[in-house]
Amino acid sequence: MSPRPRRVTQREIAELAGVSQTTVSVVLNDRDGSNVRVPEATRARVKAAIEQLTYVADPAARRLAGLDNQIIGVFTYEAALSPESMDFYGPLLNGIERAAEQIGWDLLFFTSSPVENGTRSLFHRKTRLRLTDGCVLLGQQMVASELERLVAEQFPFVAIGRRDETAAAVPYVAIDYVTPTTALIDQAAADGHQQALYVHRGRDTPTARDRRGAVEAASAEGRLAFLLVGEERIPDLPRLTRATGATLIIAEDAFLAEDVAHALSGAGVAVPDETSLAALGEVRGHRVEGRVLAGFHVPRQQLAAEALDLLQLLITTDPQEWAGLDRERLLVAEVEPGDTIVARTDSPS
């Protein structure tokens, strides 16, 4: 592990710039330069000293000095406001906004760091992380070195989703997908389904592995036999269902389920009368052949509220006491039975 960076104090900055600590404090907190009491030449000397010493703002020290900004940063590792992303990020961002409003803090949405090779860098030179008292991180994949740096610097942050990019103690709020996946599979088995296909995207993320693991466990335990199928084989699903005798297809998410339904109906397979269908993700707003798609209701706004609650707790607690806090919170998705899993009356008892 790399050594924790030493924090440069305001006193050291003041000594190098030849000013008082009060002046340093004023410059640090006068972001727009509107405080006319500090001459521009003095401001420039303080900023030069900060750059020379590579000043790292200590959130705990700032709070003790009454210098917190009451600003929470929101950083997404991939684009969050595109039409493709809003189905996932929209409820989360809405929940974060509501939670921040309730505690009277402002949000700073980091957008200056460009998306390069499908991801952003939190520590890009344009990202104004140090303007905030803490940060919420969102993304399917996050950068291990950046998570480790945040932990080492004791900067308050909370990740949305369980992280396995690093062994560092990353605070997070996540969704338990194993419990509802197991419940949905057991209900399908109780409805007479014995053979099924699981269509997945091949992602290697914690939530994808959780869902796939629950599917594989059900198959290994003989509760419901599954054949795992990558999304690239969706056009081949009509043949696979006939070859395997599958009466149920479960997709990793609702969009994938819609693609499955399109492929089946195009081949003359009636959904769900011939082949039942479900998704292991949020299904609100998703219908198949006019029916409510079976799947989950994911408490994303509650997830956001929990993330803000945990972040505020970290911000207002001395970092030396963080180890005693519950920094890993798990919420359970609710099963939506829908209308697309049809009981089988033709299966052997």
- Per residue in 152-163, pLDDT (tens digit) is 989 999 999 999
Report DSSP letters for 196-241, one per residue.
EEEEE----SHHHHHHHHHHHHHHHTTSSEEEEEEGGGGGGHHHHH
Q: What is the pLDDT of residues 62-86, one digit of tens each?
A: 444 444 678 899 998 877 776 666 7
For 252, phi then psi, to 5°, come to: -65, -30
Q: In one letter, which amino acid is 1?
A: M
Mean pLDDT for the chain?
Answer: 86
Secondary structure E strands in the chain: 71-76, 106-109, 134-138, 157-160, 172-176, 195-200, 225-230, 248-251, 276-282, 287-288, 291-292, 294-297, 328-332, 334-336
As a CATH number, domain 71-170+300-332 is 3.40.50.2300
How far apart CA 10 and CA 190 sit, in angstroms, is 66
Q: Taking 90 as the threshold, does the pLDDT of residue 215 lie above it? A: yes
Measured in Å, how far apart are the chain's first and last C-alpha atoms? 58
Helix (H) / strand (E) containing 91: helix 83-103
Find where tokens 């299966």 sit: 347
Q: What is the pLDDT of residues 4-35, one digit of tens each?
A: 445 567 788 888 888 888 888 788 776 556 66
> Which residues of the chain are in CATH 3.40.50.2300 domains?
71-170+300-332, 177-297
No. of H helices and E strands in the chain?
Answer: 11, 14
Q: What is the mean pLDDT of residues 254-275?
A: 95
User: What is the per-residue pLDDT for 20?
Assistant: 87
> Which residues of the chain are in CATH 1.10.260.40 domains?
10-65
Q: Taking 90 as the threshold, does the pLDDT of residue 130 lie above it? A: no
**Radius of gyration, alpha carbons of the chain:** 25
CATH 3.40.50.970 fits 177-297, yes or no: no
**Residue 144 vs residues 122, 283, 330: alpha-carbon distances, Å:** 11, 31, 21
Q: What is the mean pLDDT of residues 284-290?
A: 90
Q: What is the mean pLDDT of residues 40-63?
A: 68
Fold of 10-65: 434 Repressor (Amino-terminal Domain) (1.10.260)
How far apart CA 272 and CA 253 sit, in angstroms, is 17
Q: Taking 60 as the threshold, does the pLDDT of residue 227 lie above it? A: yes
Q: Which residues of 50-89 are buried (b: 16+ CB within 10 A; e: fewer)?
A: beeeebebbbbebbeeeebbebbbbbbbeebeeeeeebbb
Q: What is the mean pLDDT of residues 132-138?
A: 92
How far apart CA 316 and CA 63 sit, in angstroms, is 8
User: What is the per-residue pLDDT for 347?
Assistant: 57
Tell me which of 211 and 40 has the higher pLDDT.
Answer: 211
Count Cα neighbours of 45 within 13 Å in the Cβ-side half-sphere: 16
Neighbouring residues of 60: CB distance < 8 A, sequence distance ≥ 6: 154, 318, 319
Residue pair 196/225 in contact (Cβ under 8 Å)? The answer is: yes
Q: What percent of the chain has pLDDT over 90?
A: 55
Residue pair 251/260 in contact (Cβ under 8 Å)? The answer is: yes
The confidence band for 2, taking pLDDT boundaries of 50, 70 and 90, is very low
| Closest of 76, 230, 87 to residue 140, by C-alpha | 76
Residue pair 175/298 in contact (Cβ under 8 Å)? The answer is: yes
